[in-house]
Amino acid sequence: MSDGTARPVRFRGGGFRPTARRGMGVIVFVVLIALIEWGTRAGWISNLTLPRPSDVARTFIDLWNTGLLFQHLTPSITRLIVGGLMGISAGIGIGILIGLFSYARAGLVPLVAAIFPIPKIALLPLFVIWFGIDEGSKYALIALGTFTPTIVATYGAVDNVDRTLIRMGQSFGLSWFSIVRKIVLPGALPGILSGMRVSVAIGIILLVAAEMLGAEFGVGAYILQAGALYDLERLFAGVVILSVLGVVTSWMIGQAEKRLLRWRS
Amino acid sequence: MDLRADHITHRYGDMTVLEDVSLDIPAGEILCIIGPSGCGKSTLLRLLGGLEEPSAGQVLQLGTPPMGCLNPLTYVFQDFALLPWRTVEGNVSLVLEDHRLERHAAEAIIDDVLTRTKLADFRRALPRQLSGGMKQRVAIARALAVNPAVMLLDEPLSALDAQTRELLMDDLITLWSRQPFTGVYVTHNLAEAVRLGHRIVVLSRRPGRVRDVIEVPMDLTDRRPGMAELERLQAQLWQMMRDEALAADQELADV
């Protein structure tokens, strides 16, 4: 075999393993915004297509200075928190019931499957009749929107809890309640939290939709007004607020995961 | 407390996995169960501890469990079954929490079992930080914490490498010699069986029947790896199982 020539073995592993790269996300944002700024200034992007980012920033600073920002943001965030909490907590509760009890599963899974694909916005007029034009209908819309994805994520997570751990609990004579509280719930937590990312994003979408259909204040109302006037700077300022809201909520869930799931490698 | 399997037959659907198995497990003795793969060893163990119900026959506890016994029939699982979100001491305390022990009593038990399993320095470590051998020691500590009348060990060393296995076998023997426990030890490893068993039950291939029960005529603490008597016994067991194991292997290939 050996004929005297020696070649180093070529490295062919590596790749397929994304690792954290700090600051890359920021660079993408900055480059994109700089491109648009340049384009709108140089003229190869017309003012009707996209507003100038610096103008959007100026509008945003105006919003801040006049106090209008919080006049719109506070009711929006309140709606998101109240509606989201209702929907997510109910969803986790029902999801656990479906995960644990055969009858709940047999009875509720088809119902959830029937409710899930309904565009909840279509139900807003109904909610207005049921809960009034005020906050009630908005809470209900956000609650229902976050409810179904949370259920699906939760019972999936409960299903995925390692059965050997549950058998272990039984073999040591742990009570049913102890098994649920100390084995099933912590075991399902990773799945529940990742389901919450989806639920909260859906919550934000529905928040805006509800505010567009009848609200004096709120980010959705602000965007609707700006759109009606073709005021692109204000429209984009509103959209930026929503993006930031999405990033912040996602970051918060990330922090919760870091804290609560420290036991994962 | 003794444990008795009384004419146990078990079926999954049409398939009979165990047929008319009767065993006696007297207190203070370790009974090893060996047999070709798929012969129902692990099923038998689950039946003995009440994690499954036999199709026919019954498992009997003879006499009362000793004082201070919190869970008479206690398992040690092959894959450790530790809660990954609890520390070493948290995993041990899990099985004590439902018994309304006083705080210092529970603390004392945890201290005691962690010392006996040489884990006292790792109380606050999480399972993911531990090696396989350490994880299984935690599981053994957890089993000892409830002061079981009978320990049911389901291939406890099969997930470990050969060196760790050797170390843990020594640990088990030390634990037994300090405080003899009753054990049912399921394994497919003949070396483990001849080192740890007072008696060895050989099951036939599916449907599992008791083919033979062999006494190991030597004190647990006198046995060393590679002893001529043990080697001979191991060869004898292998002779007994070889054809069955081969047939069992072929059988799986047909399915």
Cβ separation of A168 and B79 shorter than 8 Å?
no
**Chain B neighbors of A265, CB-CB under 8 A:** 128
pLDDT over threshold 80, residue A54? yes
Hunting for tokens 């384009």 — which residue is that?
A39
* Whole-angstrom distance, CA of residue B81 vs CA of residue A169: 9
- B75 contacts on A by Cβ (under 8 Å): 168, 171
Which site among B74, B98, B144 would you substitute to test the A interface, given the most A Cβ atoms closer than 10 Å to its Cβ?
B98
Distance set, CA B251 to CA A244, B34, B188, B244, B254 (Å): 62, 18, 18, 10, 5
pLDDT band at A177 (very low <50, low <70, confident <90, very high): very high
CA dist B223 and B32 (Å) reads: 15
Looking from the CA of B154 toward its CB, the CA atoms found within 13 Å total 25
Q: CB of B51 within 8 Å of any CB in chain A?
A: yes
Nearest CA in chain B to A189: B85
User: Which residues 142-181 of chain A have a CB within 8 Å of chain B?
Assistant: 164-165, 167-175, 178
Q: How would you classify residue B220: left for phi > 0, otherwise alpha for psi between -120 and 50, otherwise beta?
A: alpha
> What's the distance, Cα to Cα, between the start and end of chain B in Å?
42
What local confidence, expressed as pLDDT, does residue A1 receive? Answer: 60
What pLDDT was estimated at residue B255?
A: 45
- Rounded to whole angstroms, the Cα distance separating B106 from A211 reads 56
Residue A124 to residue A142: CA distance in whole angstroms:
10
Residue identified by tokens 């505010």 is A211
Of the listed ranges A8-22, A129-143, A192-206, B67-81, the one predicted with least confidence = A8-22
Task: Match 């036999």 to its residue by tokens.
Answer: B54
d(CA A95, CA A108): 9
Which pLDDT belongs to residue B245? 78
What pLDDT is attached to residue B229?
A: 86
Q: Against a cut of 0.95, is the pTM above it?
A: no
pLDDT (mean) for A2-13: 85
CB contact under 8 Å between B81 and A173, yes or no, is no
Q: Do B51 and A167 touch (CB under 8 A)?
A: yes
- How far apart are the CA of A257 and the nearest CA of chain B, in angstroms? 13
**CA distance linking residue B98 with residue B94, whole number of Å:** 8
Tokens of B254: 């047909």
Residue range A225-247: mean pLDDT, rounded: 90
Q: Is the pLDDT of residue A4 over 70?
A: yes
Q: Write the CB contacts of A54 (distance below 8 Å, at least 6 apart in sequence).
A: A37
Mean pLDDT, consecutive 10-residue segments, chain B of 255 residues?
89 88 90 85 90 90 85 91 94 91 90 91 93 92 91 90 89 88 90 90 86 85 84 88 78 56
Taking only residues 177 to 216 of chain A, the set having a beta carbon closer than 8 angstroms to any beta carbon of chain B reads 178, 182-183, 186-187
ipTM, two decimals: 0.87
Phi, psi dihedrals of residue B62, rounded to the nearest 5°:
-105, 120
